[in-house]
Structure 1
């Protein structure tokens, strides 16, 4: 775990070195076509898997750079899979749309994890679908890195079963399931942050709903209902609120990526937050245990054939809040000293001994999640044991504006 006192303060040489190494990004708009990212793409394109991580999921600009890089990796370097932080069930719906064109992207995203339900993601899926129509024998696939999660249909299945098999238990089941299905719209830990949580832990409600199936006849319908109820329990127990924080080991997600790569041979772009794509285990915020993300496991397996890119920003409007200038000890503040609206720095290039020492030292980087509070900005960061060990490339954007939420989300 890093502390502010353990992080080397920038020197004039370091600041000058960063300014010299910075490569301008001409546009942060999704879909922009230009040559400004060609040099970066050339250095990361040979990798088998590239982790493209954002420091926040609320920024159109961080999303835009990530999406631009993804399009280049697809078009010039043969990447044919997009791995997203969502459940396998959601990933299957997105893959069905981009593979067949059935339905529309908004419908495919309706059951996706909330941060994915944006107009920007709709544009990405539309582009992937167009690419697949033009390359039917070499399509892009989409998959979720997490195991199958409970969805609203699972709650309905449990209630429908009880309505038929044990109507006297239905009202009690509804009292447990109705409050907690809201977590599929707003995560439980976010509800607590916003002050709209009903009070009792959702995992307890889920376990009580499962217990209402005890003692009923062991039929095929009963077993199916129990399977749905168990998915609900697992979803709430494994949530951030259910686990009591962000510290965890994401080996199962990494195994999902590894399995996909083994089975298809595809080169994969992995989209997630910077904590998840980091090639090293890390600490999150001021009171976290170790978080060993998917990227750390991918680095263990692929070595330098896994590349981690961190896309961050300095300040601006996130829709949910105005993010102030970063604290001076954060990497984001140092990068803010470069007089460019957007740029990237490759941490793998040769450097002087003092600059290389800074790159190998512990570092803190800003992260802003759904529970961000500007009054507690000092807690909004991750700590890595080595900046260059965790990330191969840093992308920095000076000012941000919000993503465009789909109507059901913004409401």
Structure 2
């Protein structure tokens, strides 16, 4: 042992240094990225926090390469379906929004800054311009999450009003079951504890009715717009999933988390099927979400407790067609709230704890580097259990070990990692993001 570092730790650091691929340009070269992706149809790009500029910017730059050179035709993000679809209309030259800032105004639920920030704004403008220049290789922007139960129900009714008013009336009657509740959380509480009507049957009936409509034509033999039809059907599917989720919120955390990530996976595969309808060979999707959703849960202590996630579901159900890349950081700053629904503020990120993957990568040296676990050499220490940090939209540095760390095996959890040793906070488009009192959801992870 020399200077407080054991021989084992020195060996692990040396192994990381030997395997690390420097990123002098800040991102993998196009050749390196495309080699890593290979023939994958799904590329899952994570983040260790919801408020770090470098994570967002690196994902955006890599996604540009995958769209321009890799044949990817969609970006699916950890965001609500209707809010993201407004952006999708904008990047495809539809809708009434004048610019990306307007298109991102659909994001009104806490935490707005996850998507209303300068990096996403610039990427959305780039994607619109790419689609204008090269419409034959246009790419869309979609949401995977399920918090928007009431909003999605309204979107279903609005769609039907324009194509079949009688069907819209049926949808209003079914969704009226939710009207006695002020918000989703209150509905979930009432349904879970028998204090109100359970609306599950009504939501399922509406989904089945809409699916039945989409198999043919509407009154007047007018064909349905396939994209808007898909949008409406996904909204109806979201209402059924969200209804289960909000009831499960008052049960175990594992149950509600599993329902949420199962919905993300179902939305991702439905989007893949939709893209394949017109472009069978180009149904390739880039996913942006937190490491906690994208890293394979089977390699974590949460997985041992019965929790799964999107990354695990993709690997199990779509074997061999996905790549998962996570991110880590040692220290710096982050944009986060002190409590749920609080205003965002820039917080210092504490240096990573000894015994964590972040600390090991920091000690190995290098400002920014890539570790690939799909080829040798893979540092053996990264196949064993280490602490891993997860900061969401709430950061609690005073209880960081309990609130933000869990055990995981990094090389089994991801196909690659990008480590950025010191990072900086996102720049939000809005100085304060406190639209009202929203339910404390699971947008941020914390240790079990």
In which range does the TM-score fall when normalised by the shorter chain?
Answer: 0.7 to 0.9
Q: 1:101 to 1:373 in 2, by over 3 A?
A: same
Q: 1:255 to 1:204 in 2, by over 3 A?
A: closer
Q: 1:274 aligns with which of 259, 277, 291?
A: 291
Helix, strand or coil at the partner of 2:127: helix
Normalised by the size of structure 2, how large is the TM-score?
0.67
Q: CA deviation at 1:53?
A: 0.5
Q: 1:248 aligns with which of 241, 245, 258?
A: 258
Q: 1:238 aligns with which of 235, 240, 245?
A: 245
Gaps of 5+ in 1: 1-7, 29-33, 159-172, 182-187, 189-200, 214-227
Contact 2:147/2:242 (8 A) holds in 1: no
Q: How many residues align?
A: 351
CA distance in 1, matches of 2:47, 2:21: 19
Q: 1:262 aligns with which of 256, 265, 273?
A: 273
Which residue of structure 2 lines up, in the alignment, with residue 400 of structure 1? 423
1:360-386 CA distance string (max 9 Å, x none)? 3233321101232001110212433x4
CA distance in 2, matches of 1:137, 1:395: 32
Gaps of 5+ in 2: 1-5, 158-178, 200-234, 337-346, 435-448
Which residue of structure 2 lines up, in the alignment, with residue 91 of structure 1? 84
Which residue of structure 2 lines up, in the alignment, with residue 140 of structure 1? 139
Contact 1:282/1:382 (8 A) holds in 2: no
CA RMSD of aligned residues (A): 3.9
Q: CA deviation at 1:9?
A: 9.8
Deviates more, 1:78-87 or 1:287-296: 287-296
Question: For residues 10-409 of structure 1, what are the structure 2 equivalents within 5 Å?
Answer: 11-28=9-26, 36=29, 38-102=31-95, 103=97, 104-112=99-107, 114=111, 115-147=114-146, 149-151=148-150, 177=182, 180=183, 203-204=188-189, 235=242, 238=245, 242=250, 245=253, 247-249=257-259, 250-263=261-274, 264=276, 265=280, 266-281=283-298, 283=300, 289-320=305-336, 321-351=347-377, 357-379=380-402, 380-384=404-408, 386-407=409-430, 409=432
1:332-369 CA distance string (max 9 Å, x none)? 11011132221111112223xxx654333233321101
CA distance in 2, matches of 1:231, 1:61: 31
CA distance in 2, matches of 1:283, 1:243: 22
CA distance in 2, matches of 1:18, 1:338: 6
Helix, strand or coil at the partner of 1:319: strand
CA distance in 2, matches of 1:53, 1:350: 22
Contact 1:89/1:148 (8 A) holds in 2: no
